[in-house]
A = this chain, B = another copy of it.
Amino acid sequence: MRAVVFKGVGQIAVEDRPVPKIIQPTDAILKVKCSAICGSDLHWYRGHMSLPTGFIPGHEFVGVVNEVGNDVKDIYVGDTVVASFSAQCGNCFYCKKRMTSCCPSNFLFGNSADSRSIDGGQAEYVRVPYADATLVRAPTSIPENMLVLMGDIFPTGYFAASRFLKHVPEQERRQTSVAVVGCGPVGICAIATALHWCDTVFAIDMVPERLAEAERLGAKPLLLTADPAATIMAATGNRGVDVALEIVGTPDALYLCLDLVRPFGSISSVGVQTAPLKLDGPSIYGKNITIAWGKCPVRGIFDEALDCLVKVQNKVAFLCSRTMKMEDSVEAYKLFNERKAHKIILTL
């Protein structure tokens, strides 16, 4: 089969690889229909994350089930399915509580960091462990070309926005103010979710094009370099926002959220934090701040995220507008790395 392969920093190639086989009886093999390049793929492409070469990337993919192991019960050959960005067992303490991102038996697609990393979906075929607990049959409520968003970025944006907002009593939700730090594709999905519930969403980024997209959704765009805290304080009676979303993954983005949020406010941080965080004890205590960190449990929240995507699909459809052939992946990665496309979907 043809597959994208990581060859070294800034280098991928499209090569011939053996078609994957069923290894465990809970596996399925998919014939891939499409896969997406995600912002987190740039971590290894740019060398910010140093990974052994040779793996097949891609943790957002949609395909048709081609083969299933003997223990697969709920997924059938011929089903069109989407996978979550990591495979999870479905049976452990965390999976049963829908905290699937913390399943200790999970496998991350499209990575080679450790023994829990497996080849991904930027290929003609992909092996999916724990098929019953990892794959979801294509719902009819969204167009198939948007389904790839449900593998990672839409649920992640939804998770960022919903963690605190869904606990705000319904009659107070529209008046709840939100700041979103980071307006890449996940930020856009978070903004669309937040605007579905709240009237006032501030969008902060340093890329004007991203801010323009956020503004088209209905958010108030604030350039990072133009003192967004001052604007937000002026707009909120000098209090700050009720909820801030950190979608960048740097300490500075989290510190900005701490400045933007009001006393007794909440911060939801889904950016991949890779550095130490230094927090000021007295001010975080004095402000009664709550911070929730972490990776989205895509499979655990799939149904509620999908319900939301159905409602906001027109707003985020533009994320799926750029399609290229998988054979042209070298060019696709180059364009994506140069930020000439916010999302590229590779088709076969």
Instruction: Give A residues with C-beta under 8 Å from B.
Output: 93-94, 97, 99, 101-102, 167, 237, 239, 251, 263-264, 269, 271-282, 284-295, 297
Contact = CB atoms under 8 A, between A and B. Distances in A.
Nearest to A238: B104
Nearest to A296: B288
A99 B277 contact: no
26 contacts: A93-B239, A94-B263, A94-B264, A101-B288, A102-B263, A102-B288, A167-B167, A251-B281, A264-B294, A273-B282, A273-B284, A275-B281, A276-B278, A276-B281, A277-B280, A278-B278, A284-B293, A284-B294, A285-B295, A286-B294, A287-B294, A288-B293, A288-B297, A289-B293, A289-B294, A290-B291
Contacts of A291: 290-291
Given A273-B282, A278-B276, A281-B273, A99 B288 contact: yes
A299 to B, nearest CB: 14
A281 B277 contact: yes
Nearest to A292: B290
Given A102-B264, A263-B99, A264-B97, A285 B281 contact: no
Contacts of A290: 290-293
A285 B294 contact: yes
Q: Which 7 A-B pairs have the closest CB atoms?
A: A288-B294, A273-B281, A102-B263, A290-B292, A99-B264, A277-B279, A273-B285
Nearest to A282: B274
A177 to B, nearest CB: 12
A138 B24 CA distance: 66
B277 A278 contact: yes
In this complex, the member of A101, A271, A278, A281 whose beta carbon has the largest number of chain B beta carbons within 10 angstroms is A281
Given A289-B294, A290-B291, A291-B290, A284 B279 contact: no
B288 A295 contact: yes
Given A93-B239, A271-B285, A273-B285, 9 more contacts: A101-B288, A264-B294, A275-B281, A277-B278, A277-B284, A286-B294, A288-B293, A288-B294, A290-B290
A297 B276 CA distance: 31
Contacts of A271: 285
A288 B167 CA distance: 18
